[in-house]
Amino acid sequence: MVMLTAQAELVAKKRYYLRDGDSVPVEDADGMFKRVAAAVSAVETKYGKLEVEAALLANDFHSIMSSLDFIPNSPTLMNAGTEQGTLSACFVLPLEDSMEGIMKAAHDAAMVQKFGGGTGFALSKLRPRGDRIKTTHGVSCGPIEVLKTLSRVSSMITQGGKRDGANMAVMDVHHPDILEFIDCKEVEGDIHNFNISVGVTDDFMRAVKVGTSYFLINPRSNEIEGELDAREVFNKMVYGAWRNGEPGIVFLDAINKDNKVVSEYGKMIATNPCGEQPLLGNESCNLGSINLANFFKPTAMFNSSETSIDWKVNVDWIKLDKTLRLATRFLDNVIDANYYATPEIEDMTKATRKIGLGIMGFADLLIQLRIGYDTELGRIVGKYIMGFIRDIADNESMRLGEARGVFPAWGGSEYAKSDRRFRNACRLTVAPTGTVSMLADTSSGVEPTFAIAWKKMNILEGETLYYVNKYFERDAKDFNFYSEDLMDYISNGGSIQNRDDVPQWVKEVYTVAGDITPEAHVLMQAAFQQYCDSGISKTINFSNDASIEDVYTAYLLAWEKGCKGITVYRSGSREQEVLVKAEVSQNTDVETQLQLDFLDLVNEPVIVAGGECCATPHHVEESGCVTCKSCGWSKCHIA
């Protein structure tokens, strides 16, 4: 029997459960996981396994999902076993510099997003605005107009009938139209269903540090078309991120250090919508996440607030090993069980067979270990665990490579030179795990706890569900600092850092996103990135009063520490935001504190505080958000 929380059950009903012709759910959580397990394990017969062996593996797959130890990405939960729809979440589509190439990209994006996939595009190959077009003797409209066209196409698509299209646009910093691109989302709501990131090189970043200029290159002719001051361009990017969180940055050289098939297919120049999955053109990747919170193993000595412990004995490494191996096999099977929107995507995906095994629940594991997220020990734990995950996933992928064959592009890859016979060209990705972590009732991705308590409003049914961190509530009772006054205070957004009745060790262990310095956020991302062959979805949070210089420093630190990208967000810098909590001011009025995480926007419960809708059924989906026509209330969705 699968035990979901009330919030998780609400998400599952609205998003994942199959429905009949009257839109009534016809399965529960156990049925959903059995459906997914059966569909994915059936692939085993393709590789010589008997049906009874496939059925036994289905039981193992069901076990790791129903225990909420591992959950695959949303499209797999939605579509596996239905004979329709993609099972992958992440796609990058090629965007070539021709009318045919642009329209092909628009068509393919519509087909991918129809069944729940998110798409990324590189605008870097498109000729700049005003450039000549030889065939028509006209001039180019430029990449930004193409971006707007793709945005309009995406607006027409509702992914799998459940969410708006999600996209990423990346432009190389050497493109002549880079300044226009940096400002293309200056007005909030413009190009609303795209995140944007600038692709920068190590040479550009070195030019920023020393204060020199760099060249602009016309992608049509590959000729120099001018130059800009690197620091001025970087400052413009930093200002945009400070202003409203965009653009983000993609560090292209760091990404391509792990591109082991570069010799045959070229470089990776774009990512999926949340930035954690760099891909080649027409590649897709299916993701899945291990819930680390479930691998805490209490011992007889672990019964107090003491932090001077050997934390390694409180992680169930044997269980984690077994779960990682099953999850790796599961994700490899998904590639064969998948439905592909276009033949080109199928061919490319099966050529490299990339999978994205990641984590969620890391912050909850640290809480159980009595380790603060923003501590050096917290980063050591993160690095150690990610290294363990890499070793097991790599080992299992090589075992699959020996049994099933290496990925078809292996012969031309760097792996062939060292005879490392991987089944999958890359194995690891740390995704944001928005609704998936809600399903598992755990913290998302590698992010810290957002808040100790908040409320989630289900717009579609007008319900508000109150949530208190289950570990905090337990500790408050066990260590005798629980009170109705305290719980009411934090439920209205109050910080435990301001309470004299909360022990100091609790304040150190239960640090939330707003308590953590931007530097500590970046360092945690870098700790995980060291052992992750794809990217990390992580938001670097800033307080509202953070300076532009603070953002500048964070961007430089991310590059220096080897991150593959960075997304920052200054609290309260957008009118419409994804994650929301309240703070109690000195006069007890509720003030709204806002925090954005760049997640795919979905039609699910939102976290709301500091003002609610009139709760009439007049909500309409717009820009990935919900707006009430009656009272004007508006909030974005949490993924």
Q: Is 218 a catalytic residue?
A: no
| Phi, psi (deg, nearest 5) at residue 565 | -175, 170
* 272 in active site: yes
Angstrom distance (rounded) from CA 46 to CA 65: 23
The one-letter amino acid code at 265 reads: Y
Question: Which neighbouring-strand residues pair with 634?
Answer: 627
Neighbour tally for 603: CB within 10 Å: 19
Burial category of 310 from C-beta neighbours within 10 Å (exposed 0-12, middle 13-18, buried 19 and up): exposed
Do the Cβ atoms of 620 and 632 come closer than 8 Å? no
Q: Is 487 left (phi over 0), alpha (psi -120 to 50) or beta?
A: alpha
Closest among 385, 381, 263, 276 to 324, alpha carbons compared: 385
> Does the active-site annotation cover 246?
no
CA-nearest of 237, 145, 231 to 199 is 237
C-alpha 71/C-alpha 288 separation (Å) is: 6
Out of 90, 184, 274, 613, the active site residue is: 274
Length of the chain: 639
Token digits of residue 359: 């984590």
477 CB-side CA count, 13 A:
6
Per residue, what are the HEC states of 442-481? CCCCCCCECCCEEEEEECCCCEEEEEECHHHHHHHHHCCC
Give the orientation angle of helix 99-114 with respect to helix 343-352, to 10 degrees.
80
User: Catalytic residue among 246, 276, 283, 604, which?
Assistant: 276
The residues near 391 (Cβ < 8 Å, ≥ 6 apart) are none
Helices within 467-567 (DSSP H only)? 470-478, 484-491, 504-509, 518-529, 548-560
Q: Measured between alpha carbons, how far is 499 from 527 in angstroms, rounded to an integer?
A: 31
Q: Longest C-alpha distance within the chain, in Å?
A: 79
Task: Locate 307 and state its tokens.
Answer: 């932090």
| Active site members | 272, 274, 276
